[in-house]
Amino acid sequence: MISAGEFRNGMTFEKDGDVYQVVEFQHVKPGKGAAFVRTKYRNLRTGSVVEHSFNPNEKFEEARLERRDMSYLYSDGDLYYFMDTETYDQLPFTAEMIGDGLNFLKENMVCKVVSHKGTIYSVELPLFVELTITHTEPGVKGDTATNATKTAEVETGATIKVPLFINQGEKVRIDTRTGEYMERVKE
């Protein structure tokens, strides 16, 4: 059991049969009245974010999330199939479970599948992925005075912004959390 006074960012807890993750918290001690904990937390099943104030002494069951490595195999319509790297079991996931990471998902990529008591909540991609540029316009000479960028399409079909010196066929490293170009990959 954990109390609301022990909340920290990223901590997970159970409340009313659902699992929640603390997004933001603030301990407030007003001049008059009792202290409280102002909290913003996300429902892991629905993805909705709620703001609520708790008494610091309120108790909750701590939710221990399990993260397992699974390798992405293929997509079939609206389902994306992953294989457990230890048991070789194949499981289908929906696009909602993968989220924005779907833009950077490619075959044989090892991801973390987040679950709690057998219920799978999400798929976490690696923080950085290396993808090949499949289409981009050539950079215009003399247009490099500022941090100018251009649009490029990567092998997964996602569109990102890259510096003008990046050409078609080059590998780039991308941050999967923000979808931003990080650097050119030297081969």
For the chain, domain boundaries = 2-62, 66-124, 128-184
pLDDT in tens, 20-43: 999 899 998 888 888 899 999 988
Give first-to-last CA distance, the chain, whole Å. Answer: 50
CB-based contact 30:79 (threshold 8 Å): no
Q: Is the pLDDT of residue 143 over 60?
A: no
Q: Look at the domain 2-62 and name its fold.
A: SH3 type barrels. (2.30.30)
The position carrying tokens 């230890």 is 86
Question: Would the pTM count as exceeding 0.85?
Answer: no
Amino acid 78: pLDDT: 86
Q: Is the pLDDT of residue 144 over 60?
A: no
66-124: CATH number: 2.40.50.140
Residues 6+ apart with CB under 8 A from 83: 70, 71, 73, 89, 90, 91
Amino acid at 105: L
Enter the tokens of residue 119: 């219920």
Helix (H) or strand (E) holding 118: none
Q: Is the pLDDT of residue 89 over 80?
A: yes
Give the confidence band of 71 by pLDDT, cuts at 50, 70, 90.
Answer: very high
Same fold? 66-124, 128-184: yes
Amino acid 140: pLDDT: 67
Determine the Cα–Cα distance for residues 156 and 51; give it in Å rounded to an integer.
Answer: 36
Give the confidence band of 51 by pLDDT, cuts at 50, 70, 90.
Answer: very high
Determine the Cα–Cα distance for residues 28 and 45; give it in Å rounded to an integer.
Answer: 29
Determine the Cα–Cα distance for residues 171 and 155; give it in Å rounded to an integer.
Answer: 10
Q: Look at the domain 128-184 and name its fold.
A: OB fold (Dihydrolipoamide Acetyltransferase, E2P) (2.40.50)
**Residues of the chain with pLDDT > 90: what percent?**
16
Residues 6+ apart with CB under 8 A from 94: 78, 79, 80
Phi–psi pair at 86, nearest 5 degrees: -100, -45
Enter the tokens of residue 146: 């500022």
Amino acid 115: pLDDT: 87
Q: Is the pLDDT of residue 142 over 70?
A: no
CB-based contact 102:153 (threshold 8 Å): no
Residues 6+ apart with CB under 8 A from 86: 68, 69
CA angle 116, 67, 93 (to 5 degrees): 75
